[in-house]
Structure 1
Amino acid sequence: MSGKPELPYGYLGAQPKFSEFGMTTLSHNNPEVAVSDNQIEVKFKTTRPVKLTGNLVECANEQEHKDYVFCHTQNDVSSMIATMPNPGYYKLQIYALPCDDDSKTLPGVFNYLINNQGSAKAPTPFPKQYAPWKDGCYLYDPIVLNRSMNLSNIQVKLHVPNAAAVAATVEGDWTHLERDAQGLWAGQLNLDKFKQTGCKVCLNANYGGDKTKFATLLEYSL
């Protein structure tokens, strides 16, 4: 395991756009964090809706682990979960942009240095997050999917603002979710027959108009 890396002055912590975008730290004020279980969840409070994304960089070899970062938003709180596959130091780089800004590039707003004191393990990648997901969506279940899990009764629950319909798709099979009393989209999937196929499981949303058009929100790989 490599030692603590030297980082440029001003790299750690809030960057200029952080306060400009109305963001404040909610969970971890100190940009240097030690964890013992290979995972961290950082939360930010926002005064206006923002799109959030991130990157996880292993300092020992500068390897990026974008598949091990997951972002979602619940009301005025944006969260980022990162899972580290090896012990050692990692840079967790947070990028954000107000939802009403059409720019294609999200500037860096906050940087953490994480000292993972856990043991090496092969974590399950998070689902791939598509652009519509960043517009205020929140995932309750499932955070991850893999073929070693019991796939016969997968509970799905998520919040998708302004969605008229939400459906899960796998190999051409569609399962439409129901909206509950809290406005969350929920349902149940049986993925047993797809266990060894290495296929993709997608969560998709329709936003009105043409009822046949769905935008992909999340994509899991079995």
Structure 2
Amino acid sequence: MAEQVQLPRLTDGYLGPQAKFYPYGLTTMSHSEPVIHSDTNQVEIVIGMSEKTRFTVKLLSVEPKFECNQHVLTQVQGNEYHFTIAVPKPGFYKFQIYALPNSEAGPNMINVYNYLLNVQQVDRYVENFPKQYPLWKQEGCYLFEPIMLLKNTREPSIKFKYYVPKAVDVQVKVHEDWNQLEQTEPNIYEGYIDFSKGYPAGAKVKLNVKFGRSHKYDTLLEYTI
């Protein structure tokens, strides 16, 4: 049983809400207990906020010890922050959430909640999530697909679909090729991209967005294939 699993030794008071969690108006929407026993290697944790708040996170493997933030996808839906964690190996992971309300000054976010994730088995293949740039979170964007791209993919038709508010043009740049996405609903942009020509290993796939009257594109996401 999951409850009989020997947990790693942690500092007293490490798990769960920290001093500023409730004062910042934060709530646990998906997992109210800080220890998560999972029989899948992909888990989504949702934190609610009562006012606009900036977040950052750290994901750390307990044994061996290393940081693996590339396995976390952060997205915003209204007053909720969604953190999708997808790791390639079973084991214990510490998931640390840092936050600072927009109404408070200061560059440093404060540790507000700590989870311990016990991934008991791997039931799906995962790659790194795309790198998420600050504007991705600030603008409240959402990634429908693809949440990750396989290395050296040569699929002839991969669908890209995003929610990007305030955008006037949305493009996916694959290596040196630009691909415009079509607006199909308010703030929803999508399209299919051909990877069959075979891009070089390590090529970047960037979600580039033009906002308002700006003449430049900002990079919101960056995949590596």
Query: How high is the TM-score relative to the length of structure 2?
Result: 0.88
Pick one of 95, 98, 105 that aligns with 1:95.
Answer: 98
Query: Which residue in 2 is equivalent to 1:187?
Result: 191
Query: How far apart are the structure 2 equivalents of 1:151 and 1:97?
Result: 41
Match of 2:69 in 1: 66
Equivalent residue letter for 1:193: K
Alignment of 1:165-180 (within 5 A): 165-180=169-184
Q: Is the CA contact 1:52–1:72 (under 8 Å) kept in the aligned structure 2?
A: no
What is the distance in 1 between the residues matched to 2:200 and 2:123?
A: 26
Q: Is the 8 A contact 1:147 1:196 kept in 2?
A: no
Cα pair 1:52 1:97 within 8 Å, conserved: yes
Q: CA-to-partner distance for each residue in 1:72-97, whole Å, 9 max, x for gaps? A: 01111210011223222110111223
Whether 2:13 is the aligned partner of 1:19: answer: no
Paired letter, 1:164: V
Q: 2:152·2:200 contact (CA, 8 Å) conserved in 1?
A: no
User: For residues 203 and 99 of structure 1, do their structure 2 counterparts lie closer, same or farther at Cα, with a shift above 3 Å needed?
Assistant: farther
3-state DSSP class of the match of 1:108? strand
Which consecutive unaligned segments of at least 5 residues does structure 1 have?
none
The aligned length equals: 220
1:153 aligns with 2:176: no
Cα distance change on mapping 1:198 and 1:137 into 2, 3 Å: same
- Going from structure 1 to structure 2, the CA distance change for 1:140 and 1:102 (only over 3 Å counts) comes to farther
Aligned equivalents of 2:168, 2:189: Cα separation in 1: 10
**What secondary structure does 1:133 align onto?**
helix
Matches of 2:213 and 2:113 in 1, distance apart?
A: 38
Query: Which amino acid in the other structure matches residue 43 of structure 2?
Result: I
Which amino acid in 2 is paired with 1:169?
K
Which residue is equivalent to 2:54? Answer: 51
Percent identity among equivalent residues? 36
The worse-fitting range, judged by mean Cα deviation, of 22-31 and 167-176 is: 167-176
1:219 is displaced (CA, Å) by 0.3
TM-fit CA distance, 1:101: 5.4
Give structure 2 stretches of 5+ with no counterpart.
Answer: none
Runs of 4+ in 1 over 4 A off after TM superposition: 99-102, 119-122
Query: Matched residue of 1:193: which SS?
Result: coil
